[in-house]
Amino acid sequence: MTIESRDTIVKEMLDSASAIKDDLYKQLARVGKSLSSDKRLEILHLLSQGSKTVEKLTAATGMNFANVSRHLQVLLDAKLVKYTKQGTHVIYSLADPSIIDFLNSLWRISEKQLPDIAKLKDDFINHLDNIQTLSMDQVREKLNNESIILLDLRPKEEYEVSHIAGAISVPMEELESVMNKLPQDVEFIAYCRGPLCVYSAIAAQKLQAEGYKAYRMDEGLNEWREHFKLPH
């Protein structure tokens, strides 16, 4: 083989590798583009709590049916969600459990790099009086000592899919109606869907206003599983 022939082969290989690299980045960009909407991120977060119909997602996000459907189509095209049919209902879920880990990582990076996130959270919490936030390690210690009741404020269907071991289901909209049935001689810790959910702080304040000793946990089920290395 001549030097010229060898150089030609090497150039062709480099050109081919460059084309493949460009195609790979284009595929990665498909996922990136699908995440460029705050509403699509919200949909993914909701689906990380359990499968949902378009109707459920419409009610949870406050969007109309058509907009939710359009966002779901973008997420379908990026292979981030999948669906099944049950009768006349179409039920959506995350395409793979690893997407939950990705969403957790996205939250941590965003919280670290964007000061506005911490400010928004602090501004909200500062409006609530004497609400103490416990870490996940503190919550588990109290659970192990059987010294608290852990309240899961998410909808019952999400609780039924999965929940932190030992938690009881008290959906946020039912809290006030069941509050007078709760024992007064124990402590309560409230959690909901994670750092993007403010229900835990509101619930802790409501409980304290009624004379209960209550705390909140900032994290939710997915963060709990990741922190304690539990399977999805």
What amino acid positions are annotated as catalytic residues? 192
What phi and psi values does residue 37 have, to the nearest 5 degrees? -115, 130
Give the C-alpha separation, 92 to 151, whole Å.
26
Give the C-alpha separation, 172 to 143, whole Å.
21
Give the amino acid at 228.
F
Residues linked to residue 216 through DSSP beta bridges, in sequence order:
133, 190
The per-residue b/e assignment along 14-34, b for 16 or more CB within 10 angstroms, e otherwise, is eeeeeeeeeeeeeeeeeeeeb
Question: Strands 89-94 and 168-169, how do they pair?
Answer: unpaired
Element (H, E) at 84: strand 81-86
Q: What residues contact 193, with CB distance under 8 A and at least 6 apart?
A: 45, 46, 49, 154, 158, 199, 220, 221
CA 18 to chain centre: 37
Give the amino acid at 75.
L
